[in-house]
Amino acid sequence: MNVSVKWTDGRQFLAESGSGHSVVIDGPPDHGGRNTGPRPMEMLLMGLGACTSFDVLDILEKSRAPVEDCVASIEAERADAVPAVFTKIHVHFTVTGKGLKESQVKRAVELSADKYCSASIMLAKGGVDVTHSYTIVES
């Protein structure tokens, strides 16, 4: 796996993945950015959310759960001192479907958190308190 991150202007960067996809990453104006893209630490949280959502959906689809929507809402706390690392991250899934079984959703979230989500597990092994929860919405 590889990526390149090219400085474009101020505190704006163009990140390109090895698979050929690009995203603009930028800082706030008070730090030399122009606010044209997410902050680097926001990108980490977005990657975590996508990684764990990928797992949850994959597990639920394999168990033939009737998922219609899945949203991972993530809240994080950072240290006050530099480096301002994440200290706590909470991922809350809102899973929508008709007749979803709580046991299936619970199992999918737990398997992602404990076994499959590389991003979540890496952060937890690095000392971040990573927690997960879920809500099921009947459609």
| CATH number of the CATH domain containing 11 | 2.20.25
For 110-125, what is each residue's pLDDT tens digit? 999 999 999 999 999 9
Written as one string, the DSSP assignment of 56-96 is HHHHHHHTT--EEEEEEEEEEEE-SSSS--EEEEEEEEEEE
Is 122 in the same domain as 71?
A: yes
pLDDT computed for residue 49 by the predictor: 98
Is 126 in the same domain as 104?
A: yes
For 29-86, what is each residue's pLDDT tens digit? 999 999 999 999 999 999 999 999 999 999 999 999 999 999 999 999 999 999 999 9
Bridge partners, residue 93, by sequence: 72, 134
Is 114 in the same domain as 54?
A: yes
Is 78 in the same domain as 129?
A: yes
Q: Which structural domain, as residue segments, surrounds residue 15?
A: 1-37
Is 27 in the same domain as 53?
A: no
Q: Residue 103: which H helix or E strand, with range?
A: helix 102-111
Residue 9 structure tokens: 């202007």
Count of domains forming the chain: 2
Is 23 in the same domain as 59?
A: no
Is 70 in the same domain as 92?
A: yes
